[in-house]
Amino acid sequence: MSSTSSTPSTPSTPYSATGTTGTPGDAAAPGDAGAPGPSRGLDPAIADRLKRTPDGLLPAIAQQYDTGEVLMLGWMDDEALHRTLTTGRCTYWSRSRREYWVKGDTSGHVQHVKSVALDCDADTVLVQVDQVGAACHTGARTCFDADVLPLGR
């Protein structure tokens, strides 16, 4: 399978941490490819509530909907959240590749969205999914089972 990721367009107006227009932070100059940004499709009532990082992102926790198992953490901007809400597949912003990626397009390890919720501060998204295969890029079921730290009680 080939990836269907694309780079977002970025308007030239300043981006605010709570606003919905412009280029996020100083991550890229206006018009630069590969900078996360606002979505023209995300419901403005949702976008206005979001509290993003200075680079325009929200942490997105993926959780198995029926067991509560925490699978992974990814990053979403407005466009990734819009795509996730409208396609039923998790779309993330890759900070290292500077592009959108739909979980499972290359690996086959798809996340089918069951629900999406904002936390009480509107600065984190919880996406409950039905995970097909491994969630972690290492091939593990979750990103959080390989390195459990000891508690010093």
3-23 pLDDT, tens per residue? 444 444 333 222 233 333 333
Whole-structure pTM value:
0.75
| Amino acid type, 151 | L
Tokens found for residue 37: 């940004």
Mean pLDDT check: name the lowest of 39-48, 69-78, 88-97, 98-107.
Answer: 39-48
Range of weakest confidence among 32-46, 86-100, 115-129: 32-46
Q: What is the 3-state secondary structure (H, E, C) of the chain?
A: CCCCCCCCCCCCCECCCCCCCCECCCCCCCCCCCCCCCCCCCCHHHHCCCCCCCCCCEEEEEEECCCCCEEEEEEECHHHHHHHHHHCECEEEECCCCEEEECCCCCCCCEEEEEEEECCCCCCEEEEEEECCCCCCCCCCCCCCCCCCCCCC
